Amino acid sequence: MLPRHGFGTRSVHAGEGHDPTTGAHGVPIYQNVTYAFHSYEQLEAMRDGSAPHFVYTPRGNPTVRCLEVKLADLEGTEDAVATGSGMAAISATLLHLVQGGGHLVASSDVYEVTAGFLCQDLPCHGASATMVDFTDVAAVEAAIAPHTRALYVEPFSNPTLRVADLAALAAIARRHGVPLVVDNTFLSPALLRPAEHGADLVLHSATKYLSGHGQVQGGVVCGPRALVSAIRAKVVRLGGAMSPFAAWVLLAGVKTLPLRMERHSANAAGLARFLAAHSAVASVNYPGLPTHPGHDTACRLVGETGDRFGGMLSFTLRGGDPALRAFLNALELCTLAVSLGDCGSLVWPFAGTDLIRLSVGIEDYPDLEADLAGALARLEAAAAAD
């Protein structure tokens, strides 16, 4: 695929145009559910494929379709289907791939709800998943069985930021004749386009960076037209279609995606370096740090020039739970909240662990560093007083 325009231009214009009826600049919200036909002959032409026509919004909607065309363009794939949530995209895709009792090889370090779906829900459908360390490509290949239907991975894992070698995994998938499915939520197509590294299907929780403003839920599956069409049918049957309003909000969010990802990445890189040098911090997980075990692989994925490693990092503090509690309670700018990819920085401690995930926002960097520095100073003061 050789796009005529650059990524930033396509983020604004791909999939969009003036409204053909009113001339409105930008895609309207087609909030209606059903679509009229002028005649029986037009209906028959739609049915035989000679004249495409929308029928019923859960099966296709003009606003949603514009978003799908835009995201397929940005990911460099033939087609895309939008869904009501990230998990709707994941579940519909994987249920389609394993139907009839198939098997998946999946990363042992994925989003916890995805892991729950793989381990708890797939067996209810007569399917199964083997979870392995995807940074060990030999272990991945060893886990493939005759009934394996796909490999599933996050390039930068949630929440520990382990890095997967997509090119090596794609080579394994090709050797065994199975698709490589990549959840690209953490990086977005502004930083990584997995199809360029051999992925067959690319998924997103559009709730996160594609939206960018924490205002809407959504998901997307990008890939070959025939495979996306089959997954679309599964989405319809499972009731996972995206709403027109959600698609309209996402169309607005994606326009600024490359600009936001530059700022998220620059801020995260600065904070990662700041935290790694602080005496109160025990460890930092950020692929942009040269000391990260996956740094070289990350550079092959997102490029070696500039801070393009995304806005996500995680870290641990010295001092256990008391330190974690003191730190989180002292933050003023970073919000204690789940999710990620928002314009504002979000911090989240994982239950039963000492791991803190930080979704770095697009605030002014000095303000973010000052917030973390102040919280760490309060932590050290509390420790000294005990």
Count how many domains the chain has. Answer: 2
Q: pLDDT per residue over 17-65, tens digit each?
A: 888 889 999 999 999 999 999 999 999 999 999 999 999 999 999 999 9
Of the listed ranges 1-10, 276-285, 289-298, 322-331, the least confidently predicted one is: 1-10
CATH number at 116 reads 3.40.640.10
Q: Once rounded to an integer, what is the mean pLDDT over residues 289-310?
A: 94
pLDDT bucket at 247, cuts 50 / 70 / 90 = very high
d(CA 380, CA 323): 8
The answer on 298 and 250 residing in a single domain is no
The verdict on residue 2 lying in a domain is no
Q: pLDDT per residue over 182-218, tens digit each?
A: 999 999 999 999 999 999 999 999 999 999 999 999 9
pTM, full prediction: 0.95
Last residue of a domain, one of 199, 229, 255: 255
The answer on 250 and 233 residing in a single domain is yes
Question: In degrees to the nearest 10, what's the CA dihedral of 301, 306, 310, 316?
Answer: 100
Nearest to 364 by CA among 337, 341, 345, 339: 345
What is residue 165's three-state secondary structure? coil
Q: How far is CA 24 from CA 14, 18, 132, 247, in A?
A: 16, 6, 50, 17
Last residue of a domain, one of 255, 286, 320: 255
The answer on 263 and 231 residing in a single domain is no
Q: pLDDT per residue over 335-354, tens digit each?
A: 999 999 999 999 999 999 99
Burial 26-54 (b: 16+ CB within 10 A, else e): ebebbeeeebeeeeeeeeeebeeeeeeeb
Q: Are strands 281-285 and 312-317 parallel, antiparallel or unpaired?
A: antiparallel
pLDDT at 3: 60
Nearest to 314 by CA among 281, 341, 342: 281
Domain of 322 in residue numbering reads as: 257-385
pLDDT at 20: 85
Collect all residues with Cβ–Cβ distance below 8 Å to 319 and sequence separation of at least 6.
Answer: 280, 379, 383
The verdict on residue 1 lying in a domain is no
The answer on 270 and 216 residing in a single domain is no
pLDDT at 91: 98
pLDDT at 163: 98
DSSP secondary structure, 210-260, as one string: TT-SS----EEEEE-HHHHHHHHHHHHHHT-BPPHHHHHHHHHHHHTHHHH
Residue 1 has pLDDT above 60, yes or no: no
The verdict on residue 15 lying in a domain is yes
Collect all residues with Cβ–Cβ distance below 8 Å to 47 and sequence separation of at least 6.
Answer: none
pLDDT bucket at 384, cuts 50 / 70 / 90 = confident
Last residue of a domain, one of 237, 255, 273: 255
The answer on 373 and 235 residing in a single domain is no
The answer on 247 and 181 residing in a single domain is yes
The answer on 290 and 251 residing in a single domain is no
pLDDT at 321: 93
The answer on 200 and 93 residing in a single domain is yes
The answer on 294 and 236 residing in a single domain is no
